[in-house]
């Protein structure tokens, strides 16, 4: 049981606008929301702590609906290549990680997210063997997290008919053969560990991508999803090269997933840039959420997801930052602005998304991706108290009317004043309260240098192989 906290006289962000009001938080949830002066005065009688919030927006926490937690230590590494060649670099670095590196990366990313008003994230993780480390780090972070360890036993390079040179294959490796019993035992242990924890961390099934899973892996996907009653998160049709594989299945990959029962069970798909209108409609009918990652999509040259085509068919969307070594900063304020601006070069003015619509993707859409629809993402009685105070009177945010429009258009991590997850402050007075941020930063600098040293001798092997691999990819697309 926690003492009741009243966040008093804030500019509360609703679905469409902002209005002055007060919010009472008790036992990790929103106990009451008051709009009128007399009702706000009455709430003060029930609060053990009153937080004056005049001149601040109070918004539901932003939710990063697609990310890779390990990547926070890879800033400054290769990010000037398309996905299919860039992936060779991130795989090489990833194989150099140990438990200390992953733990530190997750907390480093958590610090950045908390300071940026992000209260929840979905970590799609390729490091199944370090799953216990990841869950412990996410528990320590103070954030609300869905941890989704990879499942795959096939490679896009093999599917595209591209054989990696032996010297490169030796250092990059590939997905191991499916060991269903071993994976099942590990996954069950992760689910049990998360469910025995704080309640903030949950486990989802994380197939890398449907085409990277054999029929046996698809069967394991369905089995574990249903056995453990978990949500599923995967990549889907991110690049033109992946779209070229669509003809392998009658009617395309999405149609095959529907036939095989893969679109059931709270599925979230990242990217979805190269979906057809018909495929978007199928996903919408099956209540699938697509995580839109505009910064990463642009950085990798993957394409621009047609946002209006998605919303026109009723497809639910969320927003993600993806990897630190592709999308850049884990900054959902910046991602919201990109998501709002990109349709302006695709659609007529009457179809441009408004700030309220984009804000809903970063909050309510993200809640659906975490499997917490109707539990987080809005400020209302009964919602979990994942809340963020943002200064509306900073030099970069002052407006004649501090509205939802001005919040989305102008606010950033530098304006975040305080962050609460489940009724607990995790950031206040300029300090991360959930863990020792200074120690994490010191460890991160040291470990990042170690990772660079571990791969230094292998980078020339990779660089020498890239021209031929890139040429073959170009031929595949042509």
Torsion of CA 7, 11, 13, 19, to 10 degrees: 120
Q: What is the tens place of the pLDDT at every residue in 347-356? A: 899 999 999 9
User: Alpha helix locations (H) across 196-326?
Assistant: 215-228, 240-244, 253-259, 277-285, 294-299, 307-312
Q: 141, 434 in Cβ contact below 8 A?
A: yes
pLDDT per residue of the chain (478 residues) written in tens, 0 to 9: 678 999 999 999 998 889 999 999 999 999 999 999 999 999 999 999 999 999 999 999 999 999 999 999 999 999 999 999 999 999 999 999 999 999 999 999 999 999 999 999 999 999 999 999 999 999 999 999 999 999 999 999 999 999 999 999 999 988 889 999 999 999 999 999 999 999 999 999 999 999 999 999 999 999 999 999 999 999 999 999 999 998 889 999 999 999 999 998 799 999 999 999 999 999 999 999 999 999 999 999 999 999 999 999 999 999 999 999 999 999 999 999 999 999 999 889 999 999 999 999 999 999 999 999 999 999 999 999 999 999 999 999 999 999 999 999 999 999 999 999 999 999 999 999 999 999 999 999 999 999 999 999 999 999 999 999 999 988 877 7
Query: Looking at residue 1, what is its pLDDT?
Result: 62
Query: Looking at residue 265, what is its pLDDT?
Result: 75
Q: Which residues contact 158 (CB under 8 A, 6 or more apart)?
A: 174
Q: In this structure, what token pair is assigned to residue 212?
A: 């990277």
Q: Which residues contact 381 (CB under 8 A, 6 or more apart)?
A: 30, 31, 32, 33
Q: In this structure, what token pair is assigned to residue 314?
A: 């009723």
Q: What is the tens place of the pLDDT at every residue in 86-141? A: 999 999 999 999 999 999 999 999 999 999 999 999 999 999 999 999 999 999 99
Q: 318, 266 in Cβ contact below 8 A?
A: no
Q: 438, 432 in Cβ contact below 8 A?
A: no
User: Alpha helix locations (H) across 6-119?
Assistant: 37-44, 83-94, 99-115
């Amino acid at each position: 049981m926690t003492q009741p906290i009243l966040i008093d006289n804030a500019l509360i962000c609703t679905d469409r606008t902002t209005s002055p009001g007060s919010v009472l938080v008790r036992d990790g949830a929103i106990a009451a929301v008051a709009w009128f002066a007399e009702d706000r005065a009455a709430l003060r009688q029930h609060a053990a702590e009153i937080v004056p919030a005049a001149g601040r927006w109070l918004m539901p926490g932003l939710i990063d609906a697609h990310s890779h937690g390990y990547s926070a230590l890879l800033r400054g590494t290769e990010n000037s290549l398309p996905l299919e060649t860039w992936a060779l670099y991130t795989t090489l670095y990833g194989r150099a990680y140990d438990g200390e590196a992953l733990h530190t990366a997750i907390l480093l990313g958590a610090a950045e997210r908390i300071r940026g008003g992000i209260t929840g994230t979905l970590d799609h993780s390729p490091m199944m063997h370090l799953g216990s480390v990841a869950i412990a780090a996410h528990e320590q972070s103070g954030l609300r997290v869905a941890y989704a360890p990879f499942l795959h036993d096939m490679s896009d390079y093999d599917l595209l008919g591209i054989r990696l040179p032996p010297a490169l294959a030796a250092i990059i490796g590939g997905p191991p053969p499916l060991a269903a019993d071993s994976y099942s035992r590990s996954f069950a242990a992760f689910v049990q560990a998360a469910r025995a924890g704080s309640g903030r961390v949950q486990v989802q099934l994380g197939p890398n991508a449907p085409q990277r899973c054999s029929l046996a892996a698809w069967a394991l996907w369905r089995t574990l999803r249903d056995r453990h009653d978990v949500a599923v998160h995967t990549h889907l049709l991110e690049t033109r090269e992946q779209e070229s594989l669509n003809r392998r299945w009658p009617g395309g990959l999405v149609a095959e997933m529907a036939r095989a029962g893969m679109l059931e069970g709270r599925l979230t798909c990242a990217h979805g840039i190269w979906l057809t209108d018909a495929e978007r409609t199928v996903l919408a009918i099956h209540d699938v959420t697509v995580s839109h990652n505009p910064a990463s999509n642009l950085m990798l040259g993957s394409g621009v997801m047609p946002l209006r085509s998605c919303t026109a068919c009723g497809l639910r969307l969320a927003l993600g930052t993806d990897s630190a070594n592709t999308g850049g900063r884990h900054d959902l304020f910046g991602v919201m602005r990109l998501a709002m601006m990109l349709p302006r070069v695709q659609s007529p003015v009457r179809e441009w998304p408004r700030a309220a619509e984009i804000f809903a993707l970063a909050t309510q859409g993200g809640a659906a991706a975490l499997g917490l629809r109707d539990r987080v993402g809005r400020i209302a009685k009964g919602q979990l108290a994942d809340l963020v105070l943002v200064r509306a009177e900073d030099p970069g945010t002052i407006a004649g009317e501090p509205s939802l429009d001005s919040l989305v258009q102008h606010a950033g991590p530098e304006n975040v004043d305080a962050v609460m997850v489940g009724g607990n402050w995790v950031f206040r007075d300029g300090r991360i309260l959930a863990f020792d941020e200074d120690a994490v930063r010191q460890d991160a600098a040291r470990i990042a240098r170690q990772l660079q040293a571990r791969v230094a001798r292998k980078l020339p092997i990779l660089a020498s192989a890239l021209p031929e691999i890139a040429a073959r990819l170009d031929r595949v697309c042509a």
